[in-house]
Amino acid sequence: MSKDYTTYAPSPLGTLQITAEENGLTAINYTDNPATESSNKHQHPVLTKTVDQLNAYFDEQRKAFDLPLVLKGTDFQQKVWKQLQQIPYGQTITYSELANRLGDPQKARAVAGANGMNPLPIIIPCHRVIGADNKLTGYSGGIQRKEFLLKLEGALLL
């Protein structure tokens, strides 16, 4: 059994709970727990690297992440998450477009479900997927966070 390492990091979206295993990053969750200095003593190099890259992203100094990922999900979820990583910074696609990229335009709902199960929001940019009517739809961290991320990337112009 692999040991989990966890840290909390402040961000413009609130505190992020970041979890890794020995081989890589496993989860990022939005939390109401405030980040504290004692909890930010990163117990693993992947956590330190993740916090550094997230800080650079929020400072608009990084557009892509270079982190080892440990993704646990079904084969279909893994395929969706891989496709999400292909969406360029500052661009959006619809759930239908994502389903088309996977070879089955009828699976837009299944794609949305897998998108919602993404364990690494921000790193795997599920926020870049929008509704067919170009509306912001579901995001595990809430629509306001999705809107913030898209504005940060210049993808959402008001």
Q: Is the pLDDT of residue 37 over 50?
A: no
**pLDDT score at 36:** 57
pTM recorded for the entire structure: 0.88
Q: Give the pLDDT confidence score for residue 127 in this predicted structure.
A: 94
pLDDT at position 42 is: 58
Cα first-last separation, the chain: 48
* Whole-angstrom distance, CA of residue 139 vs CA of residue 34: 21
Residue 137 confidence (pLDDT): 80
Domains and CATH numbers, the chain: 5-59 (3.30.160), 75-153 (1.10.10.10)
Residue type, 129: V
pLDDT > 70? residue 38 = no
**The pLDDT of residue 1:** 61
Question: Using an 8 Å Cβ cutoff, are 130 and 143 in contact?
Answer: no
Beta-carbon count within 10 A of 14 CB: 15
Q: Collapse the DSSP code of 85 into the 3-class scheme (helix H, G, I; strand E, B; otherwise coil) and give the result.
A: coil
Query: Across all residues in the chain, what is the average pLDDT?
Result: 88
**For 7-36, what is the HEC assignment?**
EEECCCCCEEEEEEECCEEEEEEEECCCCC
Summarised one tens digit per residue, pLDDT across range 54-104 is 999 999 999 999 999 999 999 999 999 999 999 999 999 999 999 999 998
Q: Measured between alpha carbons, how far is 17 from 15 in angstroms, rounded to an integer?
A: 7
Pairing of strands 93-94, 15-21: unpaired
The catalytic residues are 126
- Mean pLDDT value across residues 97-119: 90
Beta bridge partners of 30: 16
| pLDDT at 79 (0 to 100) | 94
Question: In terms of DSSP bridges, do strands 93-94 and 129-130 run parallel, antiparallel, or are they unpaired?
Answer: parallel
Length of the chain: 158
* pLDDT of res. 64: 94
Q: List 17's β-bridge partners, or say none.
A: 8, 29
Region 135-149: mean pLDDT is 84
pLDDT of res. 40: 46
